[in-house]
A and B are shown apart, each in its own frame.
Chain A
Amino acid sequence: MLRQLMIFAIGLGFVATLRAEDKPVPKLDDKAIVVPIELLPSRHFVVLVKLNDKGPYRLILDTGAPLTIINSKVAKEAGLTKKAGGGGGLLGMLAGGIDQIQVGKMQVGDVVSEKSGAVVMDHPTVQAISDAFEKESGPIAGIIGFPFFSRFAMTVDYQKKEVTFKPNGYKPGDYMQDLMASMMKIEEKNKPRVVSPAGLWGFAVEKEKSDDAEGVTVKTVFADGAAAKGGLKVGDRVLTIDGRWTDSLGDTIIAASLIKPGKAVAVAVKRDGKDVKLTITPTKGN
């Protein structure tokens, strides 16, 4: 087992040195395309997918999947890979590796995505689901993941049994590349993550370790700063910034890191036991 792990560790290093490929973004238009979904008894949902005009195949759409996965049989059939990758159990995956590919044309319903990244892999869970329902509705060939659906504003409606896709110009990047690069920064993983507010707010908060109530307490409000202009006062308990909970100093900084200078946002505070809604517009600064 140790040997496998070592191979695995080397694998990480090897991949981290590969160059990212540019993946073109689909052309933007305003048309939203509706794709019907089939809800499995297990309540995963399936969409029909054509791969390089082959198919349609049935794939599970999974918002929890960072990768699109296609089983080796279908990948071969659709000419996505020259050899069958993946294969079998855990050791096969660890030692054998998995083929990372690019699907020239991936069509989910009437939605076409070009050069979408995927991996060829026989995922045991997909196989188990496929086996369970194959008799009634046919086999399942894999999972549609982040590299596909992130390119769209995607609306999932279980009531109408449909998913709506509208291109949004988002670039998913190269998942494996990003992940491996991030895993190489072990020293940074072992240290607290340093976060900066995106703009200048002009206040400071504090929270005692023993204080586990919601919110953080305002300790300082700098005169003429954005917070002072928005009406924030010392002693206020800040509950949310732009809808994000601020239950710790870290939460407060993260919320502020996500708000661009010049954007007016709602800040909910508790003042003398009453809920007060403020609007604060951070400025350009640090």
Chain B
Amino acid sequence: MRRVFLLAGLAAALFITPGFAADPTPKDKPAAAAEVPYRLTDTKHVLVRVKLNGQGPFNFILDTGAPAVFIPNKIAKKIGLKLDDKGWGEFDKFAIEGGLIVEKARTRVEDLFQLEGMNGMGMAGVELHGVIGYNVLAQFRITYDFTADKLQWVYLKDFEPPVVKPIGKGGSGGGLDMMGNVMKMMAGLMGVKPNFDIAPTGFLGLEYDEKKDGLYAKSVLKGSPADKGGIVAGDKIESIRTTSIDDASDLKKALAKAKVGDSLKFTVLRDKESKILTIELGKGL
């Protein structure tokens, strides 16, 4: 047994809805089934992307521990969502990546401390915008299999999910709602200013062939950085900078941090002769 300090708020995205009027079940039926792309965040949350009223995509966590869809005030404002006096809104269009559209999906608008905390520290490795809970999840039969790259969603045609009954005054209670602020402070103390941008690695334009004795250029795309730098089909890639290359994973490692515009020194073997080539990585994939 080990003793650990845990970010209490992160332990589970588990929410209770505060008192609210019955959540009307959507009557319009969306597409029957779809494969929904997902990613696991660094915090092991199941992330799917959603476009709200045509805007986004926004990153949502699938959460059977939440009774409804939750979005923060910031997003509600951004998409111009109208709220009732109890803090609920209804999307005109709730489009889940993979081709599902949920009609008349209702959402609770609330700044969840769990998401704020995780975002403040950059814990998930991606910015989290909201949570998809029971009122949408229950309309589908969903298969979660993390050895596959998609989730299977099947719409339950003849099913009206029972409405949610609120618990007392709601809120998460127990002082947990302080966690968001605590974690933001922590982030400050630790020097975390999370950056959620994506930087593509530089593009080479080289198709390779893994052989027993090393990595060979199988073909070079015409006009690509590899072509301009002088690599030709049949070259054996021996090293990049000072890293010797034996296989594709070596090459991937050598290029992992290389950005568009970086110049890399390649050593290739051609006709039993070593050649040093300088290749300026470009844009592309």
Q: Residues of A at under 8 Å CB distance from B? A: 5-9, 11-12, 14-15, 18, 39, 41-45, 60-67, 69, 81-82, 89-91, 93-94, 97-101, 119, 121, 123-129, 132, 143, 145-146, 149-150, 152-159, 168-170, 172, 175-176, 178-179, 182-183, 186, 189-197, 200-204, 206, 219-220, 222-225, 242-245, 247-254, 256, 258, 283-286
Contacts and interface: CB of A to CB of B under 8 A. Distances in A.
Nearest to B177: A90
Of residues A82, A154, A196, A220, which shows the largest number of chain B Cβ atoms within 10 Å of its Cβ?
Answer: A196
Q: What does DSSP make chain B's interface, helix, strand, loop or mixed?
A: loop
B22 interface: no
Interface residues of B, number: 116
A44 B283 contact: no
B8 A90 contact: yes
Contacts of A194: 199-201, 256-257, 259
Contacts of A283: 207
A135 B194 CA distance: 45
Contacts of A200: 205-207, 221, 285
A32 to B, nearest CB: 11
Given A65-B13, A179-B42, A286 B204 contact: yes
Interface string B223-250: 1100000000000000000000000100
B277 interface: no
B197 A192 contact: yes
Given A222-B222, A243-B97, A89 B149 contact: no
Nearest to B204: A286
A69 B61 contact: no
Nearest to A263: B149
Nearest to A195: B198
Contact of B248 (A5, A43, A284): A284
Interface of B: 1-6, 8, 10-17, 35-37, 39, 42-46, 49, 51, 57, 61-67, 97-99, 121-123, 125, 131, 133-135, 137-138, 141-150, 152, 156, 158-159, 161-162, 164-168, 172-176, 178-179, 182, 185-186, 189-201, 203-210, 218-219, 221-224, 248, 251-252, 255-257, 259, 282-285
A198 B256 CA distance: 11
A45 B64 contact: yes
B204 A285 contact: yes
Nearest to A179: B43
Contacts of B150: 243
Given A9-B189, A64-B12, A244-B97, A155 B141 contact: yes
A89 B64 contact: no
Q: Which 6 A-B pairs have the closest CB atoms?
A: A124-B174, A11-B5, A64-B63, A250-B198, A64-B13, A62-B65
B256 A196 contact: yes
A159 B189 contact: no
A44 B179 CA distance: 22
A170 B198 CA distance: 27
A260 B108 CA distance: 38
Nearest to B35: A243
A195 B201 contact: yes
Contact of A247 (B11, B57, B123, B197): B57
Contact of B44 (A157, A175, A245): A175
B11 A193 contact: no
Contacts of A101: 1
Contacts of B199: 191-195
B146 A123 contact: no
Contact of B164 (A12, A42, A128): A42
A119 B14 contact: no
11 contacts: A93-B6, A156-B142, A158-B134, A186-B190, A189-B122, A196-B200, A196-B252, A196-B256, A251-B198, A286-B206, A286-B252
A191 B121 CA distance: 13
Contacts of A153: 143-145, 147-148
